[in-house]
Structure 1
Amino acid sequence: MLMFPEGTTTNGSALIKFKPGAFLAGVPVQPVLLHYPNKLDTVRWTYKGTAWTEALWHTVSQPYTNMTVEFLPVYNPSEEEKKDPNLYADNVQKLMARALGVPATDHVMEGGVPVSKIGGLSLPLESPARETLTLLHKNGLGAHEVQTALDRMIDRCRSGAQGAKVSAEELASMLGLSHQQTAVHICGLYSKDDSVDLRHIYFSVAPLTGCVDLKTLLHSAFTLFNREGGGRLSERELSDLMEALVGIPQHRIAELYAAASDQNRLTEESLLRVLTAHPTFQKVTKEYLRPEEAAGTLSNGRSVNNNGSVYNNSKKSE
C-alpha cells in the first residue's frame, strides 16, 4: 500500500506533520523519498503561488521530467511506537527529514492553510494581518492612514447600522486604495469571496500597529461578539472572537474555553488573564497580538514575517 503521510503538497523546504493513519497498524513501514532534480520545478504547488493547473501545464510542456526514487531502510517500530501512532509518525517524519536535509515541522494543512496547533487553536503560519499591513504599506499607506482606516472600520462595526461585512469595492474606498485589486487580495486573506467581515481585519491588524492595547482590544471584541449580552461569552462566541483575533476560523475552542471560564462563565477579565499568563495560550498574544516590532520570532527562531519558506513539497511515502 502506497501512502503520502503529509496528505498534501508543499514547497519542498521542510516536512510538515505526518498524519497518523499510515501508522495505526503498528507494523514496519518502508520510507521512500522522491526527488525531482529538474532545472525547472513544475511538479509541486502550494496553497500560495503556482496553482496545480499551472504546474500541470508547465510539466506537460517539458520533453521529460526527472525523478529519483530513494528507498530508506525499513523502519521497525518500537513497542512504544506501536502503541502510539502519533509518536510513530513523528519519529518516521524526523528520520525522513534528516535524509532529505530539511526541517521537520509540527505544522499541518487546515482549510488549505498551513497552521500550528496550540491547545486546539489553529495558528496560521503566515498571519493574514501581517500580510494585510504589508499590502497597505506597499500601496503608500503610512501609520496615520492605516490608523484612520481602522478607526472607520471599528466605528462602522459598533454602529451596527450597515453591518460589518463589506465588498472589496467598499473596502478599497474605506482604505483609500486606488487599486481595487489590493482590496480583493485582502478579502481573499480572510474569506473565500470578494467580501470580508471588518471585525476580522480590525481585531487582527489593530494590535500589530500598536494603536490599541490588548485589554482595550478584548473589551471591544467582547462588546461586538457577545450577542446575548451579560458580559460573558458562549463557546460559539469565543470561537468567532478568536477567529477575528487570529485571522482564520477556529473549530476546536473547547480547551481555551475551559481554561478561561469559571463555572461555565467566560468573562472579559478571565480571557485576558489566560491570553497573557497561561503557559499554552499566551503564545497567541506573543505572536499575533503584539506590535510588529515587539512580535519577536517564532519558536523556531525565524522572523514571523519570513515563515513562508518552511514548508516541504517533496513527495514521501511508506
Structure 2
Amino acid sequence: MANHDLESPLLSSQPSDPPHIILNVHDSDSSTQQSNNHKPNPNTSSRNPFEFIGSDGLSVPAPSTLDPFRNDTPNIEGLYELIKIVICLPIAIVRLVLFGVCLAAGYVATKIALLGWKDKHNPMPKWRSRLMWVTRGSESHDSMPFVGTIIRAMQVIYVNRFSPSSRKLAVNEIKRKASCGRFPRVLLFPEGTTTNGKVLISFQLGAFIPGYAVQPVIVRYPHVHFDQSWGNVSLGMLMFRMFTQFHNFMEVEYLPIVSPLDNCKENPSHFAKRTSHAIASALNVVQTNHSYGDLMLLTKASELKQEKPSSYMVEMAKVESLFHISSLEAVNFLDKFLSMNPDASGRVKFIDFLRTFRLRTCTLSEELFGFLDVEKNGSITFKQFLYGSAHVMKRPLFQQSCELAFAQCDTRGHNQISEQELGDTIRHAIPDFDEDEIHELFSIFDMDGDGSVSKDNFLCCLRRNPLLIALFKPCLVHKDSSQVGQGILEEIV
C-alpha cells in the first residue's frame, strides 16, 4: 500500500485522464426540445400595456422569508408550560396586585408633581422631577387610563405617524430638547414599533435629522420556553404568560456613542444606516427594510383570516423609498388584492383578477395580468400587485393621462361622465364589451352611486386602481385625438 502523508493530494491526476468537455446549452435551443403538445400560458403576456405613460417594465424583488413580528411561542404548548402556569398562578395574582399598587402610586405621585404646573413647554422643576422618579417603572401608552397621565407628565414627544406636519413638529421638538442641557436625555425608539429581536428593521430618521451624537442602547430578552416579544400575540396573553413565568430575563447593553460625520452635517439617512449597522452587529442579526407599515399589512391580513399573513409583508421602507407611497395607501391596495380571493399561499389567479376589475378575457386584460406576473407562472402575489400598481401610479405621465382620459370621456362637456360615455370610450380598448359588463365597470368609478362620475371621483378611482388607466390608451394616443391629446402623444413618443 502507498504511504500517503497529509500534504499529498487524495486524488492525483492521471496522464490518461480525458480532457474536460464544456457544453454550452442555450435557452433558444432547449425550447425546441419541448413537447409539441405544450402550449404557453395565455395569462403570461410579456407586452407592456403602460409604455404610453413612460413605463419601461416592472421589476419586483424576491419576497423576504423573514418575519420580524413573529412570536416564537404564541400558544401554550407542552406539559412543562402547563404545569408551570398552574404553579405560578398564585404568584401571578401577587404580581398583578403589585403592578396595580405601583401604577396607583405612580399616578398619585404624578398628580402631585403636576399640581399647579402650567408651563409645560419648559423642563419640569427639579422638585417635581424628583416626585416623578416614582413612575420610572410604569411604561404604556398615553391613551390608557392612569398611565396616560404619567406619560404626559414625562413630557413625551407625540407624533402622528401619518401626518407630515406632525413628524416635522416632532423633529423640531427632539432638536429643541436634545440641544438644551436642562431637559433629561431624549429617549427614542428608531424602529417605531416592537419586533421579535431576531432582525433589525428600518430606522425612522427623526432621531438623526437634528444631527446630534446618539447613544445606541440594545435590549435582549433571552428565553427558552417563552418568547416575551410582542408580535403576533395579544397584549393580554403576553402579560398573562409573563406573570406565570418563574422569572423573565432582560439584558441591556450600552454601545459606543455614534457621532455624525462632516462636522454634524452628515446626511440623516447615512447617519441612521451607520447607527443601525452598529446595533445589528452587536445583536448579531440581519437588517431588513421592514417598517411599521409591514405591521399594518400583517395586522390587516390577520384580521381578514388569511392563512399566511406574513406573506403580505413587502418591506415597506423600500417601497416608500422607491415609489413614495404611504403605508395607508399600501393597506388600501391590500384591501383590493384580498378582494381577489387569494389562495392559501397568498397568490391570485387570472380569473379572480378579472372578476375584481370587472374585465373579461381579452388581449388587454392578459397584458395587464402579464405585466404583474413577472414570474410568468399564471398567478400574482400581493408584492407584485403593489409594486405594479405603485409603478404605474408614479409614472411621469400618469396624472396627465388620467385628466386627459376624463376629458375624452366627457363628450358633452358637463364635467360629469355618464355610463354611456364611459362605455363608448372603453370600447376603443375592448370592442366587444357588452352593456352588463360596462355597467359593472362603471360601478367602480361611480363611487357615490349617483349614476354619474365627477372628475374628482374619476381621478380618485384611478389613483386607487391605477392599472385601469390602460383602458383609456386608445383614446389617449389615437392619431385623430384632440389638440391636447396630440400633445400628450408627442410627449410620450
TM-score computed with the length of structure 2 as normaliser? 0.31
Q: Which has the higher strand share?
A: 1
TM-score computed with the length of structure 1 as normaliser? 0.46
